[in-house]
Amino acid sequence: MEPIRFEAEVLYVEDMPAATLAAEYGTPLYVYSRRAIAESWQRFDAAFDGFSHRVCYAVKANSNLGVLSLLAELGASFDIVSIGEMERVLRAGGRADRIVFSGVGKQSHEIEAALAAGIACINVESGSELTRIGEIAARTGFRAPVSLRVNPDVDARTHPYISTGLRENKFGVPVDEAMTLYRRAADMPMVDIVGIDCHIGSQINALAPFTDALARILALVDELAATGIELAHIDLGGGIGVQYKDETPLDIEEYAGAIRQAMGHRRDALWFEPGRYLVANAGLLLTRVVTLKDSEEKHFAVVDAAMNDLIRPALYDAWQRVTRVEPGPGRNETWDIVGPVCETGDFLAKDRHLSLAEGDLLAIHSAGAYGFVMSSNYNSRSRAAEVIVAGDQSQCVRTRETIDDQLRLERKFTL
Ligand code: LLP
Residue 49, pLDDT > 70, answer: yes
pLDDT of residue 161: 62
Q: Tell me, in angstroms, the distance from the centre of ligand 1 to residue 61's CA.
A: 7
**Are 96 and 231 part of one and the same domain?**
yes
Q: pLDDT tens across 188-220, in order?
A: 999 999 999 999 999 999 999 999 999 999 999
Does 412 map to a domain?
no
Of the three residues 277, 299, 326, the one that is the final residue of a domain is 277
**CB of 241 closer than 6 A to ligand 1?**
no
**Are 165 and 195 part of one and the same domain?**
yes
111 to 81, 117, 192: CA distances (angstroms): 11, 10, 15
* C-beta separation of 39 from 281 below 8 A: no
Q: Tell me, in angstroms, the distance from the centre of ligand 1 to residue 323's CA.
A: 26
Residue 327's domain is classified under what CATH number?
2.40.37.10
3-class SS string, 68-128: HHHHHHHCCEEEECCHHHHHHHHHCCCCHHHEEECCCCCCHHHHHHHHHHCCCEEEECCHH
**Cα–Cα distance, 180 to 349 (Å, whole number):** 48
Residue 81's domain is classified under what CATH number?
3.20.20.10
Pocket test for ligand 1, best of 202, 273, 277 (most atoms within 8 A of CB): 202
Q: How many other C-beta atoms can be found within 10 angstroms of the C-beta atom of residue 124?
A: 30
**387: which strand partners?**
31, 396
**Are 42 and 27 part of one and the same domain?**
no
pLDDT of residue 413: 98
- Exposed/middle/buried for 179, CB within 10 Å: 0-12, 13-18, 19+? middle
pLDDT of residue 207: 94
Does 367 map to a domain?
yes
What is the share, in percent, of the chain residues with pLDDT greater than 90?
A: 94
C-alpha closest to that of 93 among 118, 77, 78, 73: 73
**Are 389 and 243 part of one and the same domain?**
no
Of the three residues 277, 307, 339, the one that is the final residue of a domain is 277
Classified as helix, coil or strand, 297 is coil
Per the structure, the complete domain to which residue 165 belongs is given by 34-277
pTM: 0.97
Q: Which of 150-164, 173-187, 245-259, 281-295 has the lowest mean pLDDT?
A: 150-164
**Cα–Cα distance, 322 to 313 (Å, whole number):** 12
pLDDT of residue 164: 66
**Are 263 and 323 part of one and the same domain?**
no
**CB of 199 closer than 6 A to ligand 1?**
yes
Cis before 28 (ω within 30): yes
Q: pLDDT tens across 62-116, in order?
A: 999 999 999 999 999 999 999 999 999 999 999 999 999 999 999 999 999 999 9
Domains held by the chain: number: 2
**Are 107 and 240 part of one and the same domain?**
yes
Does 298 map to a domain?
yes
pLDDT of residue 162: 60
Of the three residues 247, 277, 307, the one that is the final residue of a domain is 277
pLDDT of residue 210: 95
Residue 168, pLDDT > 70, answer: no
**Cα–Cα distance, 51 to 294 (Å, whole number):** 58
**46: which strand partners?**
none
Q: pLDDT tens across 169-190, in order?
A: 778 899 889 999 999 999 999 9
pLDDT bracket for residue 165 (50, 70, 90): low
Pocket test for ligand 1, best of 40, 57, 60, 122 (most atoms within 8 A of CB): 60
Residue 160, pLDDT > 70, answer: no
Has 121 been annotated as catalytic? no
**Are 309 and 400 part of one and the same domain?**
yes
**Are 229 and 286 part of one and the same domain?**
no
Does 415 map to a domain?
no
**Are 382 and 395 part of one and the same domain?**
yes
pLDDT of residue 364: 98
Q: Tell me, in angstroms, the distance from the centre of ligand 1 to residue 202's CA.
A: 5
Which residues lie below 8 Å from residue 385, measured CB to CB, with a gap of 6+? 25, 26, 29, 30, 396, 398, 399, 400
**CB of 102 closer than 6 A to ligand 1?**
yes
- Exposed/middle/buried for 401, CB within 10 Å: 0-12, 13-18, 19+? middle
C-alpha closest to that of 57 among 368, 387, 384: 368
219 to 145, 206, 226, 229, 360: CA distances (angstroms): 22, 21, 11, 13, 56
**Are 252 and 302 part of one and the same domain?**
no
**CB of 61 closer than 6 A to ligand 1?**
yes
CA angle 35, 40, 44 (to 5 degrees): 150
**CB of 371 closer than 6 A to ligand 1?**
no
**Are 267 and 118 part of one and the same domain?**
yes
pLDDT of residue 167: 67
Transcribe 10-56 into DSSP letters: EEEETTEEHHHHHHHH-SSEEEEEHHHHHHHHHHHHHHTTTS-EEEE
**Are 184 and 203 part of one and the same domain?**
yes
**Cα–Cα distance, 231 to 225 (Å, whole number):** 8
Mean pLDDT, to the nearest integer, of 157-178? 74
Does 414 map to a domain?
no
Q: Tell me, in angstroms, the distance from the centre of ligand 1 to residue 239's CA.
A: 6
* Backbone φ, ψ for residue 66 (5° rounding): -65, -45
pLDDT bracket for residue 305 (50, 70, 90): very high
Does 331 map to a domain?
yes
What is the share, in percent, of the chain residues with pLDDT greater than 70?
A: 97
